[in-house]
Amino acid sequence: MKFNRHVSPIENDVQDRTSDAWKALCRYIDELEASEAEEFSPLKALGPELYAGIFTLPESIGKLKRVTKIHLYGSKLKRIPPEIGEMTALTHFDVYTSYGLQWFPYELTRCENLVQSRVSIRVLYGNYKNRLHFPWLKGNPVSYHGNTVKCSVCGCEISYDKTWQLWISLKVGTDVLPLLVNSCSKQCTDSLPTPHPNYVQHAHRGGTSIEQPSDSDEMTVTAMSQRQERPENAAATSYVSKQTESQKLPLLKVIWKIWKK
């Protein structure tokens, strides 16, 4: 599947919170909390028809303190709320073939026990496979449900007009993910970790002007070009030339003998 590098506007208000699918999902989360279950699998609980009507997760997922595994294979999700960072027992995170998920909340890094992830990386903003452009956050902010948001770093509650939103690429589980940061101050912004070395080396606002490293195809072409320029290739060429010269010697000897006769 080939994806366009074009940057689309960020879509907000993605979920109809009056739908049967949403109500069923909220009930399912309440039941999981009460039962202290360890796996979150809405497809199995809701069935494919209702599952297809889910485009984000309720903020109440933060209540699932005992859940260790999230199964969201083939979902229609377009975003995951920051409250996922409150799922401190989480070890496995599977959103494979959820092609609407092109970024994740920075709060996912708070799931310190998360060791295994499965993500369709080709759709991710900035991924090394094709370096999709990050949406420009200036004038195109991400908004969640409600009038305020919590700082991704210190956790203080702030209004959207006081929020500085940034992209950063970090390894979470087994994948490098594009993460959205909601920062309340320069101090919180400056305290962000160093991005993964194969990605933009600073937190940024996105847009097509952000210079990203080469994608995998460009890196392959560069590597091949460098191989052709290496000294060992020159040595190999010299060896072939010497072989050709040595093959010519017997023929010259034969010609010399014939001439002498």
| Mean pLDDT of the region 70-96 | 97
Residue 247 covered by a domain: no
172, β-bridge pairs: 175
Phi, psi (rounded to 5 degrees) for 40: -110, 110
pLDDT at residue number 191: 98
Examine the pLDDT at 243 and tell me if it is beyond 60: no
Examine the pLDDT at 145 and tell me if it is beyond 60: yes
User: 94 and 28 in one domain?
Assistant: yes
Residue 230 covered by a domain: no
Domain boundary among 101, 117, 139: 101
Residue 6 covered by a domain: no
Residue 12 CB coordination number (10 Å) = 13
Residue 259 covered by a domain: no
User: 132 and 84 in one domain?
Assistant: no
User: 139 and 96 in one domain?
Assistant: no
Higher pLDDT, 257 or 43: 43
Number of domains in the chain: 2
pLDDT at residue number 139: 80
Residue 159 covered by a domain: yes
| Mean pLDDT of the region 173-180 | 97
User: 196 and 147 in one domain?
Assistant: yes
pLDDT at residue number 237: 47
* Cα–Cα distances in angstroms (integers) from residue 168 to residues 45, 182, 242, in the given order: 34, 11, 54
d(CA 81, CA 111): 14
d(CA 61, CA 161): 26
Whole domain around residue 161: which residue ranges? 127-222
Residue 163 covered by a domain: yes
Task: Return all residues near 53 (Cβ < 8 A) that are at least 6 apart.
Answer: 16, 19, 20, 21, 22, 76
Examine the pLDDT at 244 and tell me if it is beyond 60: no
pLDDT at residue number 239: 47
Residue 185 covered by a domain: yes
User: 148 and 97 in one domain?
Assistant: no
Phi, psi (rounded to 5 degrees) for 165: -95, 135
pLDDT at residue number 140: 80
- Tokens 């017997």: give the residue: 250
User: 175 and 210 in one domain?
Assistant: yes
| Mean pLDDT of the region 176-200 | 97
Structure confidence at residue 9 as a pLDDT band (50, 70, 90)? confident
Structure confidence at residue 187 as a pLDDT band (50, 70, 90)? very high
pTM: predicted TM-score of the whole model, two decimal places = 0.82
pLDDT at residue number 223: 62
Examine the pLDDT at 57 and tell me if it is beyond 50: yes
Pairing of strands 157-159, 104-105: unpaired
Examine the pLDDT at 192 and tell me if it is beyond 90: yes
User: 135 and 215 in one domain?
Assistant: yes
Examine the pLDDT at 84 and tell me if it is beyond 60: yes
pLDDT at residue number 258: 47
User: 135 and 88 in one domain?
Assistant: no
Residue 205 covered by a domain: yes
